[in-house]
Every structure is written in C-alpha cells, then in structure tokens.
C-alpha cells in the first residue's frame, strides 16, 4: 500500500501540473479549487471507482459527479491521465465548441452530467442512486462537493432525501479547502461543525487529510462507512495546493495566470522532480 | 376515423367521467405506469393534491415523495432520468419559479426525458392569494431551450396530452393543467373535435372555429370565454377563427402565420401575465414574419389579489366581453394603444 500511495502521489503531482498547463492555456479558470481536489480525484479514479476508460458508457460503471463544477480542469486532467482522452482536449478550452470550459460539460468523455451552478450535484446523485436501486444495478454514486457549496440549501434537501432512503451506495466527498469565492468560509458563512451537521442529517461521516494519499485510500476503502446510511468523507484540503503563491489565497479562486507565473509554477514543480511530459 | 381511435376516446371518456382534471391525469399516469415500468413519480409533499395517489397505490416503490424540497425534487428527477427511468414531477405551478434553475440546468440542458406536471394554472388558486397564483411560469419556461410546454383545454385533452407527453414523447416537457372541471362547453367541443379529426399532436393547434375576420388564440381554461366571444361576434356579423393552442412551445408556426395572413389580426387570451406568455410568443412570431395587429388579453403585469378565480379574471379583463371588444377593434381597424 505504501508503494501504491507513493505512485499515486507522484501521479497526482503530474496531474496538477497538467491541469495548471491547461488552465494557463485557457487564459483563465479556477486554480484554487482545481488544485485542492486533485489528490481526492486521483485516488478515486485510480483506485476506487469501478470504471473502464475504454468504455465510458459501460452500464455497470460507478458514477462520479463533480458537483463543484468549477473544478472541471482538475477532473478533466485526471480523466486524461486515466486514459479517457488525449491531452489535446485539455489545451483547446479557448476554442469554440470546446469540450472543456471553466465548468464541466457532458461532451468530455467520462463525464456523465454537466455541472457549474452549485448545489445541483447531490440531488442528481440521489436520483441516480434511487434509480439504480430500483433496477438492481450495483453501481455506486460518488459526488464531490465544494465546502462553500454546502451553503446551498439544495445540498441539505438532498442530504435529507438520501438519509430517508438509506442510500448506502451514495458517497459525498467534501473538498474542505476553507475558501469560497469571496474569502474564508468561516467568515462568509460558517460551516463548522461540518461533520456533525452531516451526521445530524443521518449520514455516516468521517474526516480525512485530503492531501494524504494513503489516508484517502484507507477512507474510501472502508465505504460505506455504515450499512444503510449514505457516507460523507470530509477531505481537509488546501486551496491552491502545490503552488506556493496560490496556496490559501482567495484571489486564486478564479483568474488568469501570466507567463511569468507559469514559469514559476514550472520551476517549483521541477524542484520536486515533476516536469511536463 | 379509425375504429381503434374512436374506441380509445370512448374508453378515455368513461375513465375520466366525474373525475377532476388532476385525477384524470393521475388515472392516466397510473395506467401508463402499468404499461411502462420506467415511469416513476417524484414529488415534494404534493402527491395527493395533484392526483398522484392512484400511481402511488399501484407502484409504491416507484413513487418518491421528497418532502417540501422542489429544487431537490428536480435534481432527483434528473438523476432518475439519467439512470434510465422516466420521472414525472408533480408540482404546484407557482413553484416552477423556485426550481427554475434546476429545470434549466438539470433537465433541459442535458435534454433528459423528464416531465413536470402542475395542476394550478394561472389564477386558478384564486383564494390562495398571489403567492399561489401561477402567472409567470410560461415566461420563465418558454426561454428554456428544448422544453416542450403543453396546456390542455379540457379533461379529455389533458388525458390525451398526458398519454402523448409521458407515454410517447422523448425529452423534457411541462404539462400545465387546471385542477378541477373545465367548462362543459369546451369539454364537448374538444371531444367532438378529437372524434372527428384524430389524435392529439403536440405542436399542432386545433382550429375549433373557422373565420376570416379575426383570429382568437387561446389555451387551457381561457378557451371557454374565447368560444363564447366567437359566438357573440358571429351574431354581430364578425367571423372569428378560434385556435386552441394547446402547445405553447414549440408554437404552431403555420397556424399562426396562416391566421396572420388570412385575417385582420389576432387576439390572444391567456391566464398568465401578458409579459412572456402565449400572447408574446404570437406577437414575436408575427412581428418577425407576418406583421399584423396582435392584442393580448391576460394578467396585466400586476400581482392579482385574493378572490374567486372568476372575479380575478373579471378584474384582469379575461372575459367574453373584453375579448369581443378587442376582436371588434381588430376587425374594424380601430386599434388604439392606451
């Protein structure tokens, strides 16, 4: 497991750099939330989800919904590394009819549902889990929420529904990077105690370091956290993780990166032994 | 007309006998549910009020009552549709505004096969007050690409529309129903029409009356005063064409442009804000392709009041006399902006 974690750690770093290159080429986008989610997504797509990149529409696959749709570049970079498509798709986000934009579209191979506006993913995931249960399909449904997104009432409407139906095939992961667009979540609209809120809504909850690959693997391997209840994994992350001048900086939620800044990014990754392939 | 079509109408006639429209829909839905196990019901604590009990009784596992959470209900419906089910969401019409973004992003944008059904069109919930009036839903939903919008004008037409929209049509659709009994005159007129002219076809208006002086376009409950107005105009020597525009979107372009070319102008009668509704759809179409006078009878861009629906209609001018007055103005070329 330690070897596997080391491999995935390196893969996640390479994916970060790929996502940063794509964001740079696109002329703008969401840096902070992309970098905070990549370790989570790498573990899910490399180790946990029952998927087959050669058959994106395989009808026994697990489903993943990126409810924080502004993390589109992070998810797309992970899908690319997983073999769903070639990297050129990531680099043409500025062109007309691009598959990839600042939010997900269903034109990207491997993405089942388009997202962008917040508070939509969890209700859809609940519907999927209910539908699969009706037909006896064994697939699990994963959804990644932003922590700021948990300000949305619809998230909690859906949380109540999942609890009512005891959807233990449903897993919500919260990218707890502590920032929304205007600043720290605990200043904008406090969320803590977040895990207890989910528990009060009938979910089984656990908290994990969202950048500790081994801890993420362990947490996801233990799903469902409780039989007959939906699971939520609150992954404590750092917004802008992996780039010194982006970490914990609200202004990197969404903006453009200059060529000089991209060169700094490349130098920082090179120091850690990661270069573009 | 084929024997099977007539037999179907006769069977539907018996099935809906004595049922309010919401229960007509519920009865048809339960029947469709027996034929297609993909059909599921989603609602936000509104099963009983919109006639969903029959389906719930027959198919409890396929019925998802999500409590008072309309945004969630639309999202869950999207998920069910993604999983291969055909969700039917029962809502009060005024709640469309609350979950408009979910309808746009989760159903229309991905083009999912999900249906939204409301049973409180326009000012029908009169004493319920402004919060329960449904006079902006069409303005919102008409602007969502890919959404079919159907508003039947009788219980029989509601049954036929439900069979079409839920049972056969692919893609997102909105069915705007009245809760109770439509006026007998319209019920009979539409029954006669379908007996003679055939099936319900979404997007194809019914010509209920021929005439070349003026065209009256109505939909849903407003067909009753519209048909009365046409009869009164006839007595005064004005021949009014009457179109039952049961499909608000896609609009029957041919029926409207033909009416624009063959008459002196159009009056649109609707139980909705005059902004954004059927009248505006007809006015926009004719302004672009076949300019003619278009007058709109409907809610006058205001919040209404508490009161019986008939009184609220009277205040808004949704009356036979007002339709006659507007139609005469067009027929005689005496239109004045006020």
A131: nearest CA partner in chain B = B80
CB-CB contact of B79 with B85 (8 Å): no
Rg (CA), chain B: 19
Residue B41, domain member (yes or no): yes
Per-residue model confidence (pLDDT) at position B50: 93
The CA distance from B118 to B99, in Å, is: 13
Residue B20, domain member (yes or no): yes
Residue A276, domain member (yes or no): no
Give helix B184-197 / helix B223-235 axis angle, nearest 10°.
90
List of residues 6+ apart from A57 with CB closer than 8 A: none
Provide the pLDDT confidence category of residue A1 given band limits of 50, 70 and 90: confident
The CA distance from A126 to B85, in Å, is: 13
**Dihedral sign computed on CA atoms, order B150, B156, B159, B161:** negative
Residue from B40, B59, B83 to probe the interface with A (highest A Cβ count within 10 Å):
B83
Expressed in angstroms, the distance from the first to the final Cα of chain B is 48
Q: What's the farthest any 2 CA atoms get from each other in chain A?
A: 54
State the smallest CA–CA distance between residue A270 and chain B in angstroms. Answer: 41
The CA distance from B147 to B131, in Å, is: 25
Which of B67, B80, B101 shows the shortest C-beta gap to A127? B80
CB spacing of B75 vs A124 below 8 angstroms: yes
Residue from B75, B105, B145 to probe the interface with A (highest A Cβ count within 10 Å):
B75
Per-residue model confidence (pLDDT) at position B229: 98
Which of A114, A131, A158 shows the shortest C-beta gap to B72? A158
Copy the structure tokens of residue A13.
Answer: 């770093």
Are residues B266 and B162 part of one domain? no
Are residues B145 and B17 part of one domain? yes
Q: In what order do the strands lie in the sheet with B115-118?
A: B63-65, B39-43, B86-91, B115-118, B173-176, B148-150, B247-249
Are residues B221 and B144 part of one domain? no
Q: Is the pLDDT assigned to residue B36 strictly greater than 90?
A: yes
B88 contact residues in A (CB cutoff 8 A):
none
B101 contact residues in A (CB cutoff 8 A):
117
Give percent of chain A with pLDDT exceeding 70.
Answer: 100
- A 10 A CB-CB count for B59 gives 17
Total domains in the fold of chain B: 2
The CA distance from A137 to B136, in Å, is: 40
The CA distance from B301 to B323, in Å, is: 18
User: What are the φ and ψ backbone dihedral angles of B114, each rounded to 5 degrees?
Assistant: -135, 150
A139: nearest CA partner in chain B = B83
Residue from B62, B72, B80, B84 to probe the interface with A (highest A Cβ count within 10 Å):
B72
Look up the domain containing A266 and give its range.
2-271
B103: nearest CA partner in chain A = A120
The predicted-structure confidence for B43-53, as pLDDT tens digits, reads as follows 999 999 999 99
Are residues B241 and B172 part of one domain? no
Of the listed ranges A236-240, B14-18, B296-300, B308-312, the least confidently predicted one is: B14-18
CB spacing of A126 vs B40 below 8 angstroms: no
**Region A118-146: what's the mean pLDDT?**
98
Placement of tokens 């992954």 in the chain: A235
List of residues 6+ apart from B113 with CB closer than 8 A: B81, B86, B170, B171, B172
Reduced 3-state DSSP string for chain B: CCHHHHHHHHHHHHHHCCCCHHHHHHHHHHHHHHHCCCEEEEECCCCCCCCCHHHHHHCHHHEEECCCCHHHHHHHHHHHHHCCCEEEEEECHHHHCCCHHHHHHHHHCCCCCCEEEECCCECCCHHHCHHHCECCHHHHHCCCCCCEEECCCCHHHHHHHHHHHHHCCCCCEEEECCCCCCCHHHHHHHHHHHHHHCCCCCCCCEEEECCCCEEEEECHHHHHHHHHHHHHHHHCCCCEEEEECCEEECCCHHHHHHHHHHCCCEEEEEEEECCCCHHHHHHHHHHHHCCCCEEEEEECCCCCCCCCHHHHHHHHCCCHHHHHHHHHHHHCCCCCCC
Which of B72, B77, B81 shows the shortest C-beta gap to A157? B72
Total domains in the fold of chain A: 1
With 0-12 / 13-18 / 19 or more C-beta atoms within 10 angstroms meaning exposed / middle / buried, residue A102 is middle
Are residues B264 and B317 part of one domain? yes
A63 contact residues in B (CB cutoff 8 A):
82
Placement of tokens 């006058």 in the chain: B300
Of the listed ranges B11-25, B147-161, B219-233, B269-283, the least confidently predicted one is: B11-25
Residue A12, domain member (yes or no): yes
Expressed in angstroms, the distance from the first to the final Cα of chain A is 26
CB spacing of A124 vs B64 below 8 angstroms: no
Interface check for A119 against chain B (CB to CB < 8 A): the answer is yes
- The ipTM, to two decimals, is 0.96
The predicted-structure confidence for A71-114, as pLDDT tens digits, reads as follows 999 999 999 999 999 999 999 999 999 999 999 999 999 999 99
Per-residue model confidence (pLDDT) at position B335: 82
Residue A155, domain member (yes or no): yes
Are residues B232 and B308 part of one domain? yes
The CATH number of the domain where B66 resides is what?
3.40.50.970
Residue from B79, B84, B98, B101 to probe the interface with A (highest A Cβ count within 10 Å):
B79
State the smallest CA–CA distance between residue A2 and chain B in angstroms. Answer: 37
Are residues B281 and B141 part of one domain? no
CB spacing of B102 vs A158 below 8 angstroms: no
Are residues B95 and B48 part of one domain? yes
Provide the pLDDT confidence category of residue B338 given band limits of 50, 70 and 90: low
CB spacing of B62 vs A134 below 8 angstroms: yes
Placement of tokens 């947490």 in the chain: A219
3-state helix, strand, coil in chain A (%, to 5): 45, 10, 40
The predicted-structure confidence for A232-244, as pLDDT tens digits, reads as follows 999 999 999 999 9
Which of B76, B83, B101 shows the shortest C-beta gap to A161? B76
The CA distance from B245 to B184, in Å, is: 19
The predicted-structure confidence for B235-272, as pLDDT tens digits, reads as follows 999 999 999 999 999 999 999 999 999 999 999 999 99
Residue B256, domain member (yes or no): yes
Interface check for A225 against chain B (CB to CB < 8 A): the answer is no
CB spacing of B80 vs A128 below 8 angstroms: yes
Residue B182, domain member (yes or no): no
Residue B130, domain member (yes or no): yes
Are residues B26 and B150 part of one domain? yes
Residue B11, domain member (yes or no): yes
Interface check for A112 against chain B (CB to CB < 8 A): the answer is yes
- A 10 A CB-CB count for A220 gives 20
Q: What's the farthest any 2 CA atoms get from each other in chain B?
A: 60
CB-CB contact of A35 with A19 (8 Å): yes
Residue B185, domain member (yes or no): no
Interface check for A161 against chain B (CB to CB < 8 A): the answer is yes
The CATH number of the domain where B272 resides is what?
3.40.50.920
* Cα B132 to the center of its chain, rounded Å: 17
Q: Is the pLDDT assigned to residue B337 strictly greater than 80?
A: no
Interface check for A66 against chain B (CB to CB < 8 A): the answer is no
The DSSP code for A224 is S
Per-residue model confidence (pLDDT) at position A202: 98
State the smallest CA–CA distance between residue A156 and chain B in angstroms. Answer: 9
pTM: 0.97
List of residues 6+ apart from A47 with CB closer than 8 A: A4, A8, A217, A220
Give residues 81 to 110 of A whose Cβ lies within 8 Å of B: 106
Are residues B23 and B170 part of one domain? yes
- What count of residues does chain A have? 277
Are residues B148 and B113 part of one domain? yes
CB spacing of A123 vs B74 below 8 angstroms: yes
Residues of B with a Cβ under 8 Å from any A Cβ are 40, 61-62, 64, 66-67, 69, 71-85, 87, 101-102, 105-106, 109-110
A117 contact residues in B (CB cutoff 8 A):
101, 105
Look up the domain containing B286 and give its range.
203-331
List of residues 6+ apart from A240 with CB closer than 8 A: A31, A32, A35, A36, A246, A247, A248, A249, A252
Q: Is the pLDDT assigned to residue B313 strictly greater than 70?
A: yes
Give percent of chain A with pLDDT exceeding 90.
Answer: 96
Among B176, B194, B215, the domain boundary falls at B176
List of residues 6+ apart from B332 with CB closer than 8 A: none
Residue B327, domain member (yes or no): yes
On average, the pLDDT of chain A sits at 96
Are residues B215 and B141 part of one domain? no
Residue A277, domain member (yes or no): no
List of residues 6+ apart from A3 with CB closer than 8 A: none
Residue from A62, A64, A131 to probe the interface with B (highest B Cβ count within 10 Å):
A131
Of the listed ranges A264-268, B26-30, B333-337, the least confidently predicted one is: B333-337
Which of B62, B76, B82 shows the shortest C-beta gap to A113? B82
CA angle A12, A13, A18 (to 5 degrees): 95
The CATH number of the domain where A92 resides is what?
3.40.50.970
């Amino acid at each position: 497991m330690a070897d596997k974690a080391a491999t995935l750690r390196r893969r996640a770093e390479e994916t970060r750099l790929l996502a940063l290159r794509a964001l740079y080429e696109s002329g703008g986008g969401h840096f902070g939330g992309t970098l905070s989610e990549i370790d989570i997504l790498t573990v899910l797509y490399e180790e946990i989800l029952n998927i087959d990149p050669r058959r994106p529409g395989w009808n026994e696959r697990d489903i993943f919904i990126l409810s924080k749709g502004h993390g589109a570049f992070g998810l797309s970079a992970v899908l690319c590394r997983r073999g769903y498509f070639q990297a050129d798709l990531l680099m043409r986000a500025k062109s007309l009819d691009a598959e990839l934009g600042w939010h997900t579209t269903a034109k990207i191979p491997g993405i089942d549902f388009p997202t962008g506006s917040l508070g939509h993913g969890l209700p859809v995931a609940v519907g999927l889990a209910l539908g699969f249960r009706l037909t006896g399909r064994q697939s699990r449904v994963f959804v990644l929420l932003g922590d700021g997104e948990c300000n949305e009432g619809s998230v909690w409407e859906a949380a109540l529904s999942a609890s009512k139906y005891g959807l233990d095939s449903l897993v919500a992961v919260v990218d707890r990077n502590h920032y929304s667009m205007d600043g720290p979540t605990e200043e904008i609209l406090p969320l803590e105690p977040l895990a207890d809120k989910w528990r009060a809504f009938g979910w089984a909850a656990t908290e994990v370091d969202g950048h500790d690959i081994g801890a993420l693997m362990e947490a996801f391997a233990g799903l469902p956290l409780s039989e007959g209840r939906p699971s939520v994994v609150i992954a404590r992350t750092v917004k802008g993780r992996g780039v010194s001048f982006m970490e914990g900086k609200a202004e990197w939620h969404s903006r453009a990166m200059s060529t000089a800044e991209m060169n700094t990014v490349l130098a920082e990754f090179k120091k850690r032994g990661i270069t573009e392939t | 007309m084929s024997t099977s079509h007539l037999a179907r109408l006769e069977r539907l006639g018996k099935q809906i006998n004595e049922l309010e429209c919401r229960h007509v829909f519920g009865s048809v839905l339960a029947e469709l549910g027996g034929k297609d196990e993909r059909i599921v019901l989603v609602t936000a604590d509104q099963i009983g009020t919109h006639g969903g009990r029959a389906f719930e009784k027959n198919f409890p596992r396929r019925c998802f009552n999500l409590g008072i959470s309309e945004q969630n209900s639309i999202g869950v419906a999207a998920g069910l549709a993604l999983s291969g089910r055909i969700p039917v969401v029962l809502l009060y019409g005024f709640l469309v505004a609350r979950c408009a973004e979910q309808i746009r992003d989760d159903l229309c944008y991905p083009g999912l096969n999900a249906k939204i059904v409301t049973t409180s069109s326009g000012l029908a919930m009169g004493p319920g007050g402004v919060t329960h009036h449904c006079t902006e839903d069409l303005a919102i939903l008409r602007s969502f690409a890919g959404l079919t919008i159907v508003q039947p004008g009788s219980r029989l037409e509601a049954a036929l529309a439900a069979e079409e929209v839920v049972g056969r049509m692919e893609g997102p659709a909105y069915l705007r129903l009245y809760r109770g009994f439509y006026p007998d005159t319209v019920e009979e007129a539409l029954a006669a029409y379908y007996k003679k002219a055939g099936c319900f076809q979404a997007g194809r208006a019914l010509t209920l009356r021929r005439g070349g002086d003026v065209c009256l376009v109505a939909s849903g409950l407003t067909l009753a005063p519209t048909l009365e107005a046409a009869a009164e105009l006839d007595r005064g020597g004005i021949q009014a064409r009457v179109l039952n525009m049961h499909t608000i979107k896609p609009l029957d372009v041919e029926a409207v442009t033909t009416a624009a070319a063959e008459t002196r102008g159009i009056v649109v009668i609707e139980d909705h804000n005059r902004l954004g509704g059927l009248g505006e759809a007809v006015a926009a179409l004719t302004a672009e392709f076949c300019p003619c006078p278009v007058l709109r009878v409907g809610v006058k861009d205001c919040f209404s009041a508490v009161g019986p629906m008939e009184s609220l209609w009277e205040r808004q001018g949704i009356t036979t006399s007002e339709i006659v007055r507007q139609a005469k103005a067009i027929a005689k070329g005496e239109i004045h902006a006020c």
